[in-house]
Structure 1
Amino acid sequence: MSSKRLEQIAQATKTAFVFPGQGSQKVGMLADLAQQFAGINATFAEASEAIGFDLWQIAQSGEGLNQTEFTQPVLLTASIALWRVWLELGGVAPKYLAGHSLGEYSALVAAEAMSLGDAVKLVHLRGKLMQEAVPEGQGAMAAILGLDDAKVLALCAEVNAQGQGSVDAANYNAQGQVVVAGDKAAVEAVMLAAKEQSGKAIALPVSVPSHCSLMKPAAEKFAQALEQTNIELPHLAVIQNVNAAIATDVAQLRQALTAQLYQSVQWTKTMQYLQDQGVQYVVECGPGNVLANMAKRLPNIEKAFPLDSSSRLEDALNAILVAEGKIA
């Protein structure tokens, strides 16, 4: 589909697409859809050729799937494969796109700001640099539930002042749900303190602590790769993680992608922005349904749909077409 056509058919919709980040990967993802839609395998073949190894084999076998440097290109490719199938089937083009962490790159590819080949190479490097910045086992992430944002920030500040290492608020996912990241001992100290404050704390199974100050060395190296990558302004509006805003020039876009490595993901503000703009329907374009489930709890979102199976894809296609008045 041409960029101009993409822009035209998205102008009047009340739909946003959101793309998941690391943690949504699943062995065997999109296998049933690949049997129905040749575009799934074609997209994986395109990305695999660009990156130099078989992403579909990793997705289906699970071998290496949870290693950050492989997780990221596999997830991005899966999301773009679903996006292409959606458009091929005549699905409504959304007015806004947003991606959670890694998912921001999927959103940018969908909006034609960068090619799939360039994007998979970028996120493969991103994963490698993140892992190199903090050797496996030294960092950690945890979800803190039931406490407001200010309280979680205060707990991080208290632990940082105690000299047990560094810990930051990494993801503002929803009201009462903040993910913290940093040195393992510091994260564990925040988890203990949160429980003492009647909150809940859940350790996340990750190999690197994303979106915290420990990632600054990775960001400095990654900025060089971003400068060498051909990036254009998106043809659909993409809301950025670090400021819940839309970039107005490519330099700003590159800066935000660099800062995303060590600054918080502002997902709560992103979803509020979508609601403020009149978005009523959210489609999660990628494996899993984490983002769709979070969107369902928002007051102005009428419906949220995942796409990661044949039945879910069909339900979403028909429901959005009816909701947007494209079919009766």
Structure 2
Amino acid sequence: MAYAIIFPGQGAQEVGMGKELFDEFKEAREVLELADEALSFRLSRLIFDGPEAELQKTEFTQPAIMAVSMASFKVLSSLAPGELSPLFVAGHSLGEYTALVAAQALSLEEGLRLVRLRGQLMQEAVPVGEGAMAAIIGLEESVIVEICKAASKGGKVCEVANYNSGQQLVISGHATAVAEAMEAAKKAGAKRAVPLKVSAPFHCSLMRPVADTLSRAFEACSWRRPVWPLVANATATPVTDIGEIQNVLRRQTYSPVLWKNSIQFMANSGASAFIEAAPGNVLSGLLKGCVSGVESYNLKDLKNLEKTLDFIKGGL
């Protein structure tokens, strides 16, 4: 059975994530040890012991999720040596960087440093309290797009940031404009309009300066052609060319994450199952709102790791 491997983004974090795998497998411990060394501080201690308020800071959240995701991926690889053969890899927002590390386009060390820089730049791009994001649930895409346009006035920004599923879109921009859009969405019949606990308005035009700085950081990295195609957030199409990869990463910073379209593309191209590399199972939960008739697996703990391993070995 053909499958894709997907990697989560910000929002999947929690104190203690990945601890079962860390305690059980040396491959997971090696990833966390390398992360500590690459970033010159004890990221592993923050992941396992907190405090939660520190882990929630974007500059720490992003490398922490990458480290735990890669730890789970390395464990799976070690238990199925030479047997992983996904049709595609993809990642939600920062997960796109993790997907590229898994596909060997970037080293783990460079990936960790990039996403920490990305987190720092995103946090600094908009003063704390001036930006916001919100999930709009149960309202048509076209209606949400028009609501965002109406809220974007007087120099304020409100844009769709994530097309997560047929039932969930995320909006992003100035806090006042996002609040106005939330109220309008409720009046238009949205089931829910939920503010997100984020420290900056990601994936909107307010992030354009971040993209320019990241582009310069990309030039300092040693890139390789990925061993599996990456389905890009910005286009929902596969990329393998290094120059094109850097371009879609740059665009991803200030463009919406086309997650629903990405899942649909992979499913329509033959992927009948999706494996979510830990932490959590947020992306697995979104699958049913994107496509029907696909299987989902995750690596969030030992029980689910075993199920995923059985699937991979059974499909050979």
1:196 alignment counterpart: 187
Q: Deviations over 1:149-178 (max 9, x none)?
A: 1111100111113x2721110000011211
Residues 242-321 of structure 1: pairs in structure 2 closer than 5 A: 242-321=234-313
The answer on whether the counterparts of 1:87 and 1:93 sit within 8 Å (CA) in structure 2 is no
Indicate conservation of the 8 Å contact 2:15/2:49, yes or no: yes
Distance 1:300 1:76 in 2: 28
Question: 2:216 pairs with 224, 231, 237, which one?
Answer: 224
- Residue 145 of structure 1 deviates from its aligned partner by 1.0
**TM-score normalised to structure 1 length:** 0.92
1:169 correspondence with 2:160: yes
Q: Which moved more, 1:33-42 or 1:20-29?
A: 33-42
Contact 2:230 2:240 in 1 (8 A): no
Distance in 2 (alpha carbons) for counterparts of 1:219 and 1:300: 35
- Aligned-pair RMSD on alpha carbons? 1.3
Residue in 2 aligned with 1:116?
108
Map of 1:36 onto structure 2: 24
CA distance 1:89–1:225, shift in 2 (3 Å): same
1:87 aligns with 2:74: no
Residue 182 of structure 1: aligned partner:
173
- Aligned equivalents of 2:171 and 2:288: distance in 1? 23
Q: Deviations over 1:58-105 (max 9, x none)?
A: 101223210000110111011111111001111643221100000001
Q: What letter corresponds to residue 41 of structure 1 in structure 2?
A: R
Q: Distance in 1 between matches of 2:293 and 2:33?
A: 36
Identity of aligned residues (%): 39
Classify the secondary structure of the residue corresponding to 2:128: coil
Structure 1 alignment gaps of length 5 or more: 1-12
Q: Distance in 2 between matches of 1:240 and 1:58?
A: 30
3-state SS of paired residue (2:152) = helix
Deviations 1:109-153 (A, max 9, x none): 000000000000000100000011012211110001111111111
For 2:25 and 2:96, the matched residues in 1 are separated by 25
Residue in 2 that maps onto 1:56: 44
- Pairwise CA distance, 1:309: 0.6
Measure the CA separation in 1 of the matches of 2:107 and 2:88: 19
Alpha-carbon contact 1:242-1:266 (below 8 Å) kept: yes
Normalised to the residue count of structure 2, the TM-score between the two structures is 0.95
The alpha-carbon deviation at position 296 of structure 1 amounts to 3.8
The one-letter code of the counterpart of 1:202 is V
* Equivalent residue number for residue 148 of structure 2: 156
Aligned match of 2:203: 211
Cα deviation 1:271-318 (Å, max 9, x = unaligned): 010111111111110201110111244544431012111111111211
Large movers: runs of 4+ above 6 Å: none
Q: Distance in 1 between matches of 2:37 and 2:18?
A: 19
Q: Which amino acid aligns with 1:51?
A: L
SS of corresponding position for 1:174? coil
**Cα 1:285–1:197, aligned 2, differ >3 Å: closer, same or farther?**
same
> Which AA in structure 2 matches 1:181?
S
Take 1:219 and 1:302, find their aligned partners in 2: how far apart are those partners? 34
SS at match of 1:261: helix
CA distance in 2, matches of 1:257, 1:119: 12
* Contact 2:264–2:291 (Cα < 8 Å) also in 1: no
Number of residues of Structure 1 aligned to a counterpart in Structure 2: 311
AA in 1 matched with 2:16: G
In 2 relative to 1, CA 297–193 (structure 1 residues): closer, same or farther, beyond 3 Å? closer
**Is the Cα–Cα contact under 8 Å of residues 275 and 301 in structure 1 kept in the other structure?**
no
Residue 6 of structure 2 corresponds to 18
Measured after TM superposition, the shift of residue 30 of structure 1 is 1.0
1:181–1:279 CA distance, 2 compared to 1 (3 A): same
Cα shift at 1:228: 1.4
Distance change >3 Å, CA 302–CA 235, structure 1 → 2: same
Give the residue type in structure 1 aligned to 2:63: P
Amino acid at match of 1:197: A
Unpaired stretches in structure 2, ≥5 consecutive residues: none
Aligned to 1:145: 137
